[in-house]
Structure 1
Amino acid sequence: MTLEEATQRCGREPARQRKESAGFPDPEPGTGGTEFYSWRGITEWLARVGDDVPETPCDLLVADRALRLADALAGADVPPGTLRSLGLPAI
């Protein structure tokens, strides 16, 4: 997500003002010009600095887990039958 999206989800502007603060998560690599950040990383940082952590919407939880699964499977030697049984295409 962008810093603007993080700001909307927080209901205030912690991300832009604190981007320079120690420990704020770096943008995700390979985003092609637009800086995208991990919502999970932002919420972990908010908790560390003692700020309120907004509830994570279900759609973001599902997207985060799907992306993490795709990353974990990239280059893995997983039998195609295993992926099909999970409803996933063979990679």
Structure 2
Amino acid sequence: MSMAILSTELRYQIRDKIGLAAFADAGRIWAESGFDGETDWQAGAGLGVRYKTPIGPMRFDVAGPVGGDTGNGVQVYLGLGQAF
């Protein structure tokens, strides 16, 4: 199996504890090794809010597909700590 992944995130701090994020991700997976075979790129993008807590940032993100056939619509994510 082979895969290619692209990801980017832009963060903007509004206040001491509150920030915004915009992100985009794209990827492609091949069942065969060596990037061989027919597959399509999948891509998604979204916006989020970050709130600094003593144990790490609380993340609230809304994202959706922008390319490819994912079969899913807009999704909401809630997390604690850095995603990467």
TM-score, structure 1 normalization? 0.21
TM-score, structure 2 normalization? 0.22
Q: Point out which structure has higher relative CO (alpha carbons under 8 A, 6+ apart).
A: 2
Q: Which has the higher helix share?
A: 1
